[in-house]
Amino acid sequence: MAHAATAELVPLNIAVLTVSDTRTEANDTSGDALVERLQQAGHRLATRTIVKDDVYQMRAVVSAWIADPQVQVIISTGGTGFYQRDSTPEAMAPLFDKQIEGFGELFRQISYREIGSSTIQSRALGGLANGTLIFCLPGSTGACRTGWDKILAEQLDARHRPCNFVEILQRHAGNQEG
């Protein structure tokens, strides 16, 4: 069944999580890039925080956001590599009701054109938890720009066809009301 294109933007409430042992509000350029882009696209920043690369700190913050009906999307930056402290995938994946395998695959495909085989070290991933979309991007500002500009900007726009994640959020919200 074909879906009619939505004529208007549906502003989403998006939370931004920076995972880093060294970044602060003053030097979080990746988080800044995500906030700038989501606001330029017409979405709202629901909340933003920085946590250490610790599985339980990440899960505590994200679990609270998943439980908050005002947060529709969570975008994290950092902790997706292979260093000993990189643990974002291990923290987030158990929270997912469904994993969005194509997100990480597409991110690496696009990233390959930009940084070559180094993209193999990216463990970018996405999922859905309690009706909240979660996307985990690498910590570099360039990777955040790539993830937003080449994937998330379209998929978080109700006007994008043939399908987008806003439809999923709206269906989930409709199921919760019934």
Return the closest-CA partner of residue 159 out of 27, 14, 42, 21. Answer: 42
Residue 24 lies inside a defined structural domain of this protein: yes
Residue with tokens 């990746």: 30
Residue 8 lies inside a defined structural domain of this protein: no
Query: Which residue has better confidence, 53 or 173?
Result: 53
The pLDDT assigned to 95 comes to 98
Q: Are 47 and 74 in contact (CB under 8 A)?
A: no
Residue 38 lies inside a defined structural domain of this protein: yes
Return the closest-CA partner of residue 129 out of 160, 171, 172. Answer: 172
What are the start-end ranges of the H helices in 41-137?
55-67, 88-92, 101-115
Q: Are 20 and 28 in contact (CB under 8 A)?
A: yes
The pLDDT assigned to 2 comes to 45
Q: Count structural domains, the chain.
A: 1
Residue 110's domain comprises 13-177
Residue 5 lies inside a defined structural domain of this protein: no
**Residue type at 144?**
C
CATH number at residue 43: 3.40.980.10
Q: How confident is the model at residue 1 (pLDDT cuts 50, 70, 90)?
A: very low
Write out pLDDT tens, residues 39-64: 999 999 999 999 999 999 999 999 99
Residue 2 lies inside a defined structural domain of this protein: no
With a pLDDT cut of 90, the percent of the chain lying above it is 88
Least confident of 60-64, 154-158, 168-172: 168-172
Write out pLDDT tens, residues 96-134: 999 999 999 999 999 999 999 999 999 999 999 999 999
Residue 4 lies inside a defined structural domain of this protein: no
Determine the 3-state secondary structure of 137 from DSSP.
strand
Q: What is the pTM of this model?
A: 0.94
Residue 166 lies inside a defined structural domain of this protein: yes
Residue 1 lies inside a defined structural domain of this protein: no
